[in-house]
Amino acid sequence: MKIDHIAIWADDLELLREFYEKYFGFASGGKYENPKKNFSSYFLSLGDGARIELMAGGPAKSAGGESAAGLAHFAISAGGKENVDALTERLRRDGYRILGEPRTTGDGYYESAVSDPDGNRVEITA
């Protein structure tokens, strides 16, 4: 067994797609659209087969009208401490909110955390 993909509701589908392509090297497949359900999505993939699905429309808003975008967090491996540090600084320079500075956690991970354009917590690990 393995996880096939993680799905994220997006407030701005194109902005979120561009973020994951630019900073994390995901390659985007074609845009899927279902006009009857007011739903659009992209599957984004990394070379190792890891995938995320970005989704917009459909039930992306709660009954009260608030955004239902996001999830708790997910982690993307940058392949080493130096890469974590460099990517964290690049994201900071480009104006993204750093939620956690690079550090070694109590359970041994070297990581930082950033907020994506929709406010999802993305952990960047070594």
C-alpha 75/C-alpha 59 separation (Å) is: 25
Domain boundaries, the chain: 1-60, 70-126
What residues does 67 pair with on adjacent strands? 61
Instruction: Give the rounded distance of the alpha carbon of 117 from its chain centre.
Output: 9
Q: Which CATH architecture does the domain made up of 1-60 adopt?
A: Roll (3.10)
- pLDDT, one tens digit per residue, over 53-74 is 998 986 554 445 555 555 667 8
User: What's the CA gap between 24 and 114, in Å, rounded?
Assistant: 12
Predicted pLDDT at 63: 45
Q: Do 1-60 and 70-126 fold alike per CATH? A: yes
Q: Which CATH architecture has domain 70-126?
A: Roll (3.10)
pLDDT of 2-53, one tens digit each? 777 888 888 899 999 999 999 999 999 999 998 888 889 999 999 988 999 9
